[in-house]
Amino acid sequence: MCGIVGYVGFRPAPEFLIDGLRRLEYRGYDSAGIAVQHCDEIGIRKRAGRVEELAKLVEANPVEGSVGIGHTRWATHGETTDINSHPHVGGNGEVVIVHNGVIENYVKLREQLQTLGYVFRTTTDSEIIAHMICHYWLEQIKLGEDPESHETCLKAIQLSVARFKGTYGVVAIFRDIPDVIFAARMGSPLVIGIGKIRNEHFIASDASPFVGYTNEVVYINDHEIAVITADRMDLHHQESGKTTPSIHTLDQVSSDIDLGDFEHYMLKEIFEQPEAIENCLRGRIDEESATARFGGLNLTPRELRQIDRIIFTACGTSWHAGLVGEYLFEEFARIPTEVEYASELRYRNPPMSEDTMVFAITQSGETADTLAAMRECKRKGHKSMAICNVVGSTIAREADGGIYLHAGPEIGVASTKAFTSQVTALTLLALYFGRIRDLSYPAGKRIIKMLRAMPELIQQTLACNDHVRDVAERYFGFNNYLYMGRLYNFPVALEGALKLKEISYIHAEGYPAAEMKHGPIALVDEQTPSVFVVPHGGIYPKVMSNLEEVKARRGPVIAIACEGDHRISDLADEVIFVPDVEEFLQPLVTSIPLQLLSYHVAVLRGCNVDRPRNLAKSVTVE
């Protein structure tokens, strides 16, 4: 949550800062601002609203300079106003900062700084960072330190962050120390981009602003502070001193983050799912042994056979993917499997044997609760793996091993291709764990054959888009929805309801279809559509009975059904057909029309599909 950018080099800083904030706006879009240093002045422009509002302000009232920082906000403390927008100023303008995260003890620190004479202009927790750094910088000067020395500034930041409780990614510039940016991290991601053409450095919350500028990056770790100038970059650990940075290479290209011919990123990413699934499968199928192969688990088959319990931990959409994984692992690998909300697991103390393996599932690799839950499990000695989309993210780097999804950047706040890629990765994992246990060779070959067909089948599924749009036109005016599914399609029902809530602001709930008569059926009326996920399978007749119960109460029914199902057309008001696949693969096709339905309903209601209110893509705070 919140996006940070920074630049020091030879280019006009505002140009990169505004462009970078546009690319990071999915991280927060309540307000935006930049601070640009020129000689001994720092020009600040900030405004509530979208980055485009800031761009208009900067165009009308320009700032000049080749050093600057910027921020796009997702509010945690303080209302969305111009004054609460970042950047924030410390002291009498000596320090300017941008901040991502939450300072949990800000009330106490604010009171102490007010006692010292510091005047607060905002109601944010972030402003105390600027004042605290300014305070310690002035204290160092009183002790005889050189006010223009980088070491003096570094010491002030070290003393300041030592007092903060919570999470922070902080980037700071000093009015009287030109051509240098300071950055500190604890729990909130920061990445440095290394300029290759001429001396310059970039910094951001993630690497997307660097595309087209550089493909070499350094990930700042927790407790590290970076001192960045145009021609060099030094990292200092809070306790152990100067460290040697590790340089990584990005493989993103500009087309990954461009809209192309699509109106919204969400629609683009829905239609990228065949390619995303193919990328997830690529290089991971071992035909000869009828199994999957992974290079990043870092455990031998013998060690993996000793695992007697699996825990998937995640939040939101990733949690729903984990529910599908639970069914997969118990069916194919015969391993007891549980799915835990990361926000709950991190504060619980469940009994876990030493042979329990934990998988943290996350698109961004930075989700605060998932990271904390994984760290807690690692602390207790459990093997902890990651299923992650973002290379070099914190969870990916800290896990004992894991799998990258290779789905490509996901910009839309509502996750689509990451969900189906996670389900694909979990299917491969279930196959792998099954084959090192009791799953037969012919069964493995059969699963592989069906997995290989999925990209084409998903492409066929996307052909329902026009029909889904027609359905949306008839139903976008309703304000309550129920979603029903069973077994593998129960998590799909949950995910479909979440998508509708996220981007159209319609109240929607997902349930196992058989649980409907234990309460939710009381909600059924002519103004409450029920979306039934009812493909062919062993309990098809049971779900059809649940559907008929809704029809008997005059509830409108939208059904997701298999091609060739003639019975469903006589019962449901609307039917969206998907290819007929095995039950364990059904979430890959049944989730797609639900994604499209949410998208088209939201568009028809005039909602901002890619940037829904109150949400952000990367949730880096509790």
- Domain positions in the chain: 3-256, 259-439, 462-610
Active site residue 2: yes
Q: What is the pLDDT of residue 253?
A: 55
Angle, CA of 68, 72 and 73, to the nearest 5° = 130
> In this structure, what token pair is assigned to residue 359?
């998988």
Q: Is 524 exposed, middle or buried (0-12, 13-18, 19+ CB in 10 A)?
A: buried
With tokens 């800031």, the residue in question is 54
Q: What is the pLDDT of residue 196?
A: 74
Q: Give dist(CA 426, CA 329) in Å, integer.
A: 8
Q: Give dist(CA 90, CA 128) in Å, integer.
A: 8
Q: What is the pLDDT of residue 619?
A: 65
- Give the model confidence (pLDDT) of 554-591 as tens digits: 889 999 999 988 889 888 999 999 999 999 999 999 99
Q: Give dist(CA 287, CA 301) in Å, integer.
A: 18
Amino acid (one-letter) located at 102: V
> In this structure, what token pair is assigned to residue 414?
């509502």
Residues of the chain with pLDDT under 50: none
Specify the CATH number of the domain 259-439: 3.40.50.10490
Q: What is the pLDDT of residue 616?
A: 64
Q: What is the pLDDT of residue 545?
A: 85
Q: What is the pLDDT of residue 164?
A: 92
| Identical fold, 3-256 and 259-439 | no
Q: Give dist(CA 397, CA 221) in Å, integer.
A: 10
Specify the CATH number of the domain 3-256: 3.60.20.10
Beta carbons of 396 and 385 less than 8 angstroms apart: no
Catalytic residue among 46, 268, 499, 617: 617
Length of the chain: 622
Q: What is the pLDDT of residue 428?
A: 96
Catalytic residue among 2, 153, 464, 607: 2
- Give the model confidence (pLDDT) of 492-533 as tens digits: 999 999 999 999 999 999 998 888 878 888 788 888 999 999
Q: What is the pLDDT of residue 419?
A: 96
Residue 6 — φ and ψ, nearest 5°?
-160, 155
Q: Comparing C-alpha atoms, which of 561, 495, 569, 556 is closest to residue 525? A: 556
Helix axes 465-475, 586-604, angle to 10 degrees: 50
Active site residue 551: no
Q: Give dist(CA 443, CA 598) in Å, integer.
A: 36
Q: What is the pLDDT of residue 449?
A: 95
Q: What is the pLDDT of residue 622?
A: 58
Tell the CATH superfamily of the 462-610 domain: Glucose-6-phosphate isomerase like protein; domain 1 (3.40.50.10490)
